[in-house]
Amino acid sequence: MIRHDAELGAANTLGLACRAERFAALESLAEARQVLAEARRHGWPVSVLGGGSNLILRPWLPGLVVQADFADWWLEPLDADTVRVHVEAGMNWHSLVEALAARELWGTENLALIPGRVGAAPIQNIGAYGVELADLLESVHLLYLDDGRETVLSREECAFAYRDSVFKHALHGRVLITRLVLRLSTRPAPRLGYGDLAARLGPTPSASEVVAAVSRVRREKLPDPAVLGNAGSFFKNPVVAAERARRLLAEYPGMPHFPLADGSVKLAAGWLIDQCGLKGLREGRVGVHDRQALVLVHHGGASAEELLALARRVADTVAERFGVTLEREPRLLGRALP
């Protein structure tokens, strides 16, 4: 069912006021096909909304906004050690992680408490605590917005990279993701080398215990969007050439850094922002979180432009001090009111 002039302020974790010219919560794949066919008949531009957790909304979304609400999932045993998991786009990601861990299926537990829905996960290749979605994903089912074609992309065709995928490039704004297929293990395989996870757990934790530990860490570090509007990590951790990293480390020996397989080095954006003295900064109705400098927060009543102005100030300050470019992580959608 298509609603007109729909308020979407509650549909994005930043809590930015936004109205959609038309909005449809899709209850099934069949309804998705039907609604998108109607949009094509009328020539409406289509925007896809997930859980609204990695999104900056401007005040007006013209055309039709669709959100996949279908959320079934099922298991397909492959052998004694491996299970294929089919999960539809509308399911809450953390609820899926908890359900899989309760069945002692290993692979997603380090991705606990990442906000949003399953369908949005491949877009930025969600990752945390040493694990990325690309490590687990087998395929993505999708529906083209322009002609209704349905297809399946393999992991390789998704062109995953750090916080990146084909859905941010060649397929940006062109598809509705309808289902993911993951491959998980029935054998215990905890990955506890990141941060202090190992210190929080015993030598042989269950998958649910890892989920609980990761969730505790995230709650300690990140604000709850239900209390303080935010989109999680606002900037990607920048990746620099090895020589650039070497020069920075000579000047800042305590700088967190993570060598990558290709010889480049990933830096910690939060540390860079913190070193610039910006943690806790408030500019009007937006600010930098006082416990995690990587998170920009909305105190209420602000616009997307105010938030973007703060983001530019943060990025410019880091670039001036460290010569490192910060890239925004949340996508920007919409335009000024007509």
Percent with pLDDT over 70 in the chain: 100
Q: Indicate the fold that domain 223-333 takes in CATH.
A: 3.90.78
Question: Per-residue confidence at 128, pLDDT binned at 50, 70, 90?
Answer: very high
Three-state SS at 23: strand
C-alpha–C-alpha distance, residues 121 and 84, integer Å: 17
pLDDT tens by residue, 134-191 = 999 999 999 999 999 999 999 999 999 989 999 999 999 999 999 999 999 999 999 9
Tell me the pLDDT tens digit for each residue of 60-82.
Answer: 999 999 999 999 999 999 999 99
Selecting among 31, 104, 138, 329, the annotated active-site residue is 329
Q: What CATH code is assigned to 73-220?
A: 3.30.465.10
Tally: H helices and E strands in the chain: 7, 21
Q: Is 111 left (phi over 0), alpha (psi -120 to 50) or beta?
A: alpha
Share of the chain above pLDDT 90, in %: 94
Exactly one of 22, 58, 155, 163 is catalytic; name it: 163
| 1 confidence band (pLDDT: 50, 70, 90) | confident
Query: Within 13 Å of residue 47, how many CA atoms lie on the same side as its CB?
Result: 22
Instruction: Tell me what the mean pLDDT of segment 17-27 comes to.
Output: 97
Q: Where in the chain is the domain with CATH 3.30.465.10?
A: 73-220
The C-alpha atoms of residue 5 and residue 238 are separated, in whole angstroms, by: 39
Cα 262 versus chain centre, distance: 24
Domain with CATH 3.30.43.10 in the chain: 2-68
pTM score of the predicted model: 0.92
Place of tokens 């999104």: 55
Instruction: Check 139, 165, 233, 303 and give the catalytic one.
Output: 233
Structure confidence at residue 221 (pLDDT): 87
2-68, CATH topology level: 3.30.43
**187-196, 227-236, 259-268, range with the lowest pLDDT:** 187-196
Catalytic site residue 329?
yes
Average pLDDT on 193-213 reads 91
Give the amino acid at 315.
A
